Structure 1
Amino acid sequence: MGEPKLWIRGLTYEVADRVLLDRVELRVDAGESAAVVGPSGSGKSTLLGCALGLVRPRAGSVLVAGTDITGLRQRALERHRSANIGMVFQFGELLPELTPVENVALAALLGGAKAGDAYEWAETLLKELGVPYSTVPTGQLSGGERQRTAFARALVNRPGLLLADEPTGALDARTRDAVAELMFSAPGRWGCALVVVTHDAQVAGLADRCFELIDVGLAQRPSRAEAGHR
């Protein structure tokens, strides 16, 4: 199967003597998608924070591209994250005054790419994702176009792991469906692993595997293939 892009083993996290995650296990390989669902306060965002290295667990390991990020110093963690992880937030977190291509190229430049390469790859990604990259500021785009731009930005450094936190939560139903279809096509198109945290059961149902955070543990639901045979 090769080295997993994300491998969470025995992850335990607690805050103010309250256990949010207890011995959580999750492995996601290249070309595979996983969705994590659960009620508010169940620990979904905490789990994603651990995968990003923003939250330090009390116990367990978080391997991203073969490296346990829980033991990395801050600068090494930032370098590893930039090289291996792309992140999509619910509201995109883009700079509205910049054009789509400037937003995407900026992420590549911060990752160490040369200006020409950064803009060329940004334009290629945006074209593939159906986003206009002219002189229109990103703030003037539709919600769906902004989220597509956010996906392009997350992919521009060719990460092995793509993380998404409620990426369709601020979209209407029609736009949500289009963005979700795009999102779950990413592992097949770019060979990355995808982990999506969502409240939306329809979005979660598009993943190869779906997990639910319940009683501080992670339980796997039936896969798409298994559900299709019922």
Structure 2
Amino acid sequence: MEVRDLRYSVAGRTLLDGVNLLLPAGRSLAVTGPSGSGKSTLLNCVLGLIRCDEGEVVVAGRDLTTLTPRSLARHRRSTVGMVFQFGELLPELTPVENVALAALLAGVKRDEAFGRARRLLTDLGVPVGGTPTAELSGGERQRAAVARALVNQPQLLLADEPTGSLDAQNREAVADLLFSLPEQWGCAVLVVTHDTSVAARAHGCFTLHEGKLLSQGSAAESRPTLAEGRGR
């Protein structure tokens, strides 16, 4: 995934001011910053839900800013997974149904969709019986949300405050899971978070301040630089 010279303003306020970001497969990056700094806006631009004023967003070799709405939706379903702060799962469905639904919407056949869902949930330690998602613990729901994000085998996984609604124990477990994904699945992982202890687990960490990405160094000094916030 690469973001090039991204600019976006709303109501006269510049949220992204020439942001550049390079995140290869198999690596993770965290972006921190206060509420209103533009972190979620950056994710929405990467998702293609917000059209930037200037710049390019390249995911899996295609510039999202050039795609038609239909092509964009198709490309997003097949290449990007998303984990939200509160999971955004349907509470009346079982975890298997929630995860399989994402695959069905992407055109996966029913048997394959449910098979993928059961395998992923089992691997992530989430019940695969008939328990409604509403009855799961907070940590189980968020692991189910990660499974849903992975079910279509994305090249890029995005997470918006994925541990913000969890207690300390579940926060650690979900953070461990998210930052293990690049090695286990080969995908790139971009996490936005207020929690600096969660951000420190990523291969690289940046702060979004006044529309620019400011480097916070690397969580592992021996690892290569993953992204560059130019125009600082």
TM over 0.5: yes
Instruction: Give the TM-score taking structure 2 as reference length.
Output: 0.94
Is it true that 1:163 corresponds to 2:162 in the alignment?
A: no
1:220 positional shift: 1.5
Q: Which residue of 2 aligns with 1:47?
A: 42
Q: Which residue of 1 aligns with 2:230?
A: none
Is it true that 1:176 corresponds to 2:171 in the alignment?
A: yes
Q: Which residue of 2 aligns with 1:186?
A: 181
**Match of 1:147, SS?**
helix
Runs of 5+ consecutive residues of structure 1 not aligned to the other structure: 1-5
Match of 2:5 among 1, 10, 14: 10
**Match of 1:133, SS?**
coil
Q: Which residue of 2 aligns with 1:108?
A: 103
CA distance in 1, matches of 2:211, 2:99: 36
1:22-33 correspondence to structure 2 within 5 Å:
22-33=17-28
- Structure 1 residue identity aligned to 2:83: V
CA distance in 2, matches of 1:89, 1:30: 21
Instruction: Report the aligned-residue RMSD.
Output: 1.1
Match of 1:137 among 113, 123, 132: 132
CA distance in 1, matches of 2:85, 2:130: 24
Instruction: Give the TM-score taking structure 1 as reference length.
Output: 0.95
1:226 positional shift: 2.5
Quick one: percent identity of the two aligned structures?
Answer: 61
- Structure 2 residue identity aligned to 1:42: S
CA distance in 2, matches of 1:53, 1:182: 26
Match of 1:127 among 122, 134, 144: 122
1:165-190 alpha-carbon deviations (Å, 9 max, x no partner): 00000000111000100010011111
1:179-213 alpha-carbon deviations (Å, 9 max, x no partner): 10001001111110000000000000000000110
**Match of 2:107, SS?**
coil
CA distance in 2, matches of 1:29, 1:44: 19
Match of 1:210 among 197, 201, 205: 205
Distance 1:160 1:60, change over 3 A: same
Runs of 5+ consecutive residues of structure 2 not aligned to the other structure: 224-232
- Structure 1 residue identity aligned to 2:13: R
1:96-141 alpha-carbon deviations (Å, 9 max, x no partner): 1111111001111111001111111111101110111100000000
Work out the number of aligned pairs and report it: 223
1:12 positional shift: 0.5
1:227 positional shift: 9.3
CA distance in 1, matches of 2:90, 2:36: 29
CA distance in 2, matches of 1:34, 1:67: 20
**Match of 1:125, SS?**
helix
1:76 positional shift: 0.5
Q: Which residue of 2 aligns with 1:19?
A: 14
1:214 positional shift: 1.1
CA distance in 1, matches of 2:219, 2:88: 31
